[in-house]
């Protein structure tokens, strides 16, 4: 099963709200990612968790807080967001290292976030 | 640091014509290279990937790409474009030492009838 699921599909929130995005995979993958994608732009890397430890934080504002509770789950906690944070948030995961490596990211469908 | 460059922001081709989308990479070792496609409002779909071996790789939907180390390129090709191929195409490289993956800026493909 190579599926990466993301919930919710759509989220509308006010600037004072607290919400969370959820990503899940059951492939035993070694890394999980959060990307932010604005319209007509490439995905921008936000965070990388490698073996459940945060390995990359691309200078993301603290109003975005990632969490990796276990090897299958990745959350992105949102608080006090700004309208410019409205975007598609993509989760991805990376298979474990093997001799015949298939280092391909598997992407979820994304959560479309609108901040009012 | 690894990176990819897609020199063409927007390309328009006629339906049935051939297509080539350019991608140049910068990477210290042998790169893992990918092409993804994204239709409006949709997620990313992997078209093909290169890890090693044969430098001409075949993908889904009739796409292929050729890895040329001497030119640091990984260009995507299709012999005959269909209207449904209109989308945004992203080249990507990775994973790096921290498992990071980097995307190019993308090339938007428009297909004329």
Q: Which tops the pLDDT comparison, A101 or B92?
A: B92
Rounded CA separation A93/A72 (Å): 10
Condensed to tens digits (0 to 9), the pLDDT of residues A46-56 reads: 999 988 899 88
Show which residues on chain B lie within 8 Å of chain A, measured between beta carbons.
Answer: 32, 34, 42-44, 46, 49, 51, 88, 90, 92, 94-95, 98-106, 108
Per-residue model confidence as pLDDT tens digits over B20-63: 999 999 877 778 899 999 998 788 899 999 988 889 999 999 99
Residue indicated by tokens 């020199």: B7
Question: For chain B, what is the radius of gyration of the CA atoms?
Answer: 14
Contacts of A12 (CB under 8 A, 6+ apart): A113, A114, A116
Contacting residues for B86 by C-beta, under 8 A, at least 6 apart: B109, B110, B111
Render pLDDT for A58-106 as a digit per residue (tens, 0 to 9): 889 999 999 999 989 999 999 999 999 999 999 999 877 653 356 678 8
Residue in A101, A105, A108 to test binding to B, most B beta-carbons within 10 Å: A105
CA distance A69 to B99: 19
């Amino acid at each position: 099963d190579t599926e990466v699921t993301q919930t919710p599909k759509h989220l509308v929130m006010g600037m004072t709200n607290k919400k969370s995005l959820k990503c899940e995979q059951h492939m035993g993958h070694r890394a999980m990612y959060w990307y932010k994608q604005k319209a007509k732009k490439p995905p921008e890397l936000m965070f990388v968790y490698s073996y459940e430890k945060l390995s990359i934080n691309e200078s993301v504002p603290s109003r975005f807080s990632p969490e990796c509770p276990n090897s299958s789950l990745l959350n992105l906690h949102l608080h006090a967001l700004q309208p410019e944070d409205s975007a598609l948030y993509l989760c991805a995961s990376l298979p474990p290292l093997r001799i015949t490596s298939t280092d391909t990211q598997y992407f979820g469908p994304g959560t479309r976030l609108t901040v009012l | 640091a690894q990176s990819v460059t897609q020199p063409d922001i927007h390309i328009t081709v006629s339906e049935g014509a051939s297509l080539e989308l350019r991608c140049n990479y910068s990477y210290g070792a042998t790169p893992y290279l990918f092409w993804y496609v994204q239709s409006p409002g949709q997620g990313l779909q992997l078209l093909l990937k290169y890890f090693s071996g044969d430098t001409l790789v075949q993908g889904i939907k009739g796409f292929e790409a050729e890895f040329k180390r001497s030119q640091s390129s990984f260009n995507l090709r299709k012999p005959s474009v269909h209207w449904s191929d209109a989308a945004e195409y992203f080249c990507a490289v990775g994973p790096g030492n921290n498992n990071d993956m980097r995307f190019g800026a993308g090339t938007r493909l428009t297909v004329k009838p």
